[in-house]
Structures are given as C-alpha cells and as structure tokens.
Amino acid sequence: MGNRPEELRALLDSVAKQDGDRVEVVVVGNGSPVPDVPAGVRTIELPENLGIPGGRNVGIEAFGPSGRDVDILLFLDDDGLLANHDTAELCRTAFAEDPKLGIISFRIADPDTGVTQRRHVPRLRAADPMRSSRVTTFLGGANAVRTQVFAEVGGLPDEFFYAHEETDLAWRALDAGWMIDYRSDMVLYHPTTAPSRHAVYHRMVARNRVWLARRNLPALLVPVYLGVWMLLTLLRRPSRPALKAWFGGFREGWTTACGPRKPMKWRTVWRLTRLGRPPVI
C-alpha cells in the first residue's frame, strides 16, 4: 500500500461486506506507515519500499510459507474498491469448480464512468471487457490466486520492483499446468490512471521486459519477443525523454542479473498460442 488512508478504509469496508465466510485481511505498509485500520485487520510495516512484488510476497508469507495456511489469496490495490458483495463467493466457487484454475484476474472499472480501460483487459482481443475468457496473464492489483500455485512455482519476482511481475508469475503457472481466467463479473472499482505517471515507468517496463524473456522463454524466442516489443514501442512514437529511458532500461535488462532462468516448455508456448497470445507478442 501507499499513503491513501481514506481509500484504504473504503477498500477494507468493501472487503468486510463480502458475502460468505469472513475474509482475513493483511495490510502491508510498503515503506510507509499503516494508518488506523478496523479491528481484526493485521498490519505489517516495512522500513523500506520493496517494490510491488516484494511487498506482495511479504503479504503472502503472512499466511504461512507460500500462503499455505489459506487456500486462496486476493490482491487488491489500496485505492481500489470491490464493487459487489459476492466477489469472494464467486472466487470460492470458481476455484472449487475448476481444479486446474490457478489465477483469476478481476475486471477493473472506473467508479464514476464504469469504463474499463483497454489495458486492463489482459488479452489481445480487448475490445469487449464484458467478455470473460481464459487468458495468459493477469492484473496485479485485482486478482485471486490459489496458494498452491505459489507453493509449486514460487512467488512474484522481487527484483522486478515494478512492471511485468504478474506476467512472470503467469508464465510460470501456465508452464506448471495451471490456467488463468479473466472474469468480467468480479469487479474492482479503481480511478482511471495512466501507468506512465510513475517516474520509473519507461525504464522499468523495458528492463523487466528483457528480464521476463531471459528468465522464461526458450532461447530461440528471446530475440523475436524483444524485437517485436522494440518495434511496437517505436511505432507508438514516445517522447524523446521516454525513449531514452526505455532504451536505457532495455540495455540494463541485458547487463544485469535477471534471477533464475527456467525456460518454459514448447508445449507451454503452444498453449499460450492457442489461448490467443503467443509469447512473441
């Protein structure tokens, strides 16, 4: 979490109102103090900002190694708000009915307009955000994960700090045989924002894209994947400062350690392709 106490309280209220069994809540103050929270909410204050994946991994471990003390973990941005009271029950039902379902990505909608940004639909065919489907990645601030996934493939990559950590976990989960669903009926209200509002956006997006490929793709696909993304970046015609930061991050991704490399199986490449997003796009 960051420093949005009013938004955090609204989120916690929306979690407390969920139907069914009580949802146990942990709030991680990622380099910032945790404001007053309702009774029964556990808090963890970290002395420094560990980044998005590092903070979430601390939250996971709060429920035992790899979160094993519970079956399902929800990850919600502190300035979000669960739109409906049945989201937790929908998650429980979805996981119970599909033993191979490992991750659910919620639909993010603006609280005032109800609009879902195209970038918040985790698939290439994103024109209809109301269509639920199998997908190949998920949204980091609005999702549910079966804790068995973490036990099998590990947590989020701490070293990424910000950007693409969800896809890294998604690819590892898919390679282990798990499936990922995008569910339009599970909604998190979140104000419309641009990811580029973060000062480190362009550098970390580029660096982590290289790390993602180096860690997870078969060697033959690494240059193809990164070449496609370089071309797409140039076609979007970013500003000169943004492009400079992007190329700096791209270079950093090649010259720094990316963490353990475990290339996905070719059958996983085929599975990603059948799901509509081959790992070269």
Pair 49, 12 in one domain? yes
Pair 254, 211 in one domain? yes
Instruction: Name the pTM for this structure.
Output: 0.95
Pair 52, 143 in one domain? yes
pLDDT at 151: 98
Pair 129, 229 in one domain? no
Structure confidence by residue, pLDDT tens digits, 79-128: 999 999 999 999 999 999 999 999 999 999 999 999 999 999 999 999 99
Q: What is the 3-state secondary structure (H, E, C) of the chain?
A: CCCCHHHHHHHHHHHHCCCCCCCCCEEEEECCCCCCCCCCCEEEEECCCCHHHHHHHHHHHCCCHHHCCCCEEEEECCCCEECCCCHHHHHHHHHHHCCCEEEEEEEEECCCCCCCCHHHCCCCCCCCCCCCEEECCCCCCEEEEEHHHHHHHCCCCHHHCCCCHHHHHHHHHHHCCCEEEEEEEEEEECCCCCHHHCCCHHHHHHHHHHHHHHHHCCHHHHHHHHHHHHHHHHHCCCCHHHHHHHHHHHHHHHHCCCCCCCCCCHHHHHHHHHCCCCCCC
| Domain contains 49 | yes
Pair 45, 76 in one domain? yes
> What span, in angstroms and rounded, lies between the C-alpha atoms of 129 and 162?
25
pLDDT at 199: 58
| Domain contains 11 | yes
> Average pLDDT of each block of 10 consecutive residues along the chain (281 residues)?
83 98 97 94 97 98 97 96 98 98 98 95 96 98 98 98 97 98 98 70 96 98 97 93 94 97 98 96 87
| Domain contains 268 | no
Which residues form the domain of 232? 196-260
Pair 214, 166 in one domain? no
Pair 128, 218 in one domain? no
Report how far Cα 132 is from the mean position of its chain's Cα atoms: 17
pLDDT at 194: 72
| Count of domains observed in the chain | 2
